[in-house]
Amino acid sequence: MSDRHFDQLATRFAEKIYGGAKGAIRLAVLQADLTESLPARPLRVLDIGAGLGHMSLWLAQQGHDVTLAEPAAPMLEGARQRFADAGQNGTFIQAPWQELLGQLTEPYDLVLCHAVLEWLAEPHAILPVLHQLTARDGWLSLAFYNRDALIYRNLLKGHFRKMRKNDMAGEKQSLTPQQPLDPRELATALEGLWQVETQSGVRVFHDYMPVEFQ
């Protein structure tokens, strides 16, 4: 298994995630948490796995100095165009997370790592890098796909064969992550590196509702 990038799925990602309620809910929850936690001053922000730049653009519009790092060229180009359309400036880096320590010389006040870990071959391997890229008195905003949620969804759908095989990964062209994370294991891995200040669930009810009611 290798890290999965979205070179071939940028359009589908935009339509399936940010073309409807899924993306809107995720943005709203993350923005509410950041608004509550961050100080009212301009920050240096690094968005790792920035995708199409939705969160970065929102932060740029708040007056922050934003750097977007994204390995998939189509996604980064979409983010660049989104910033241009909004009249906002940003720094754009096409690189996977493994190359960032060699390209970035100073830590950031705020590091975003949203919906990245679950697409990595070794999700926990990125955590020390995130720590090095975050200033001593800075913040990390970490969002990940909860394995418990995927288990519950498969139970509701009657996918018992999948459950018996303990196969949680999505199909090759699916937007279901290849490595959903156990929140307890991740919490243990974060100990000693971070102090958790704010924690929220994203789409806790929405994803289990019939489509016509979402």
Q: What is the pLDDT of residues 176-211, one digit of tens each?
A: 788 899 999 999 999 989 999 999 998 877 777 777
DSSP annotation of 10: H
> What integer pLDDT is reported at residue 150 of this predicted model?
82
Give domain limits for the chain.
10-145+183-213
**pLDDT tens digits along 43-81:** 999 999 999 999 999 999 999 999 999 999 999 999 999
The answer, yes or no, to whether residue 14 has pLDDT greater than 70, is no
User: CATH topology for 10-145+183-213?
Assistant: Rossmann fold (3.40.50)
Question: What average pLDDT score do residues 74-92 get?
Answer: 97
The answer, yes or no, to whether residue 17 has pLDDT greater than 70, is no
**pLDDT tens digits along 150-160:** 887 777 777 77
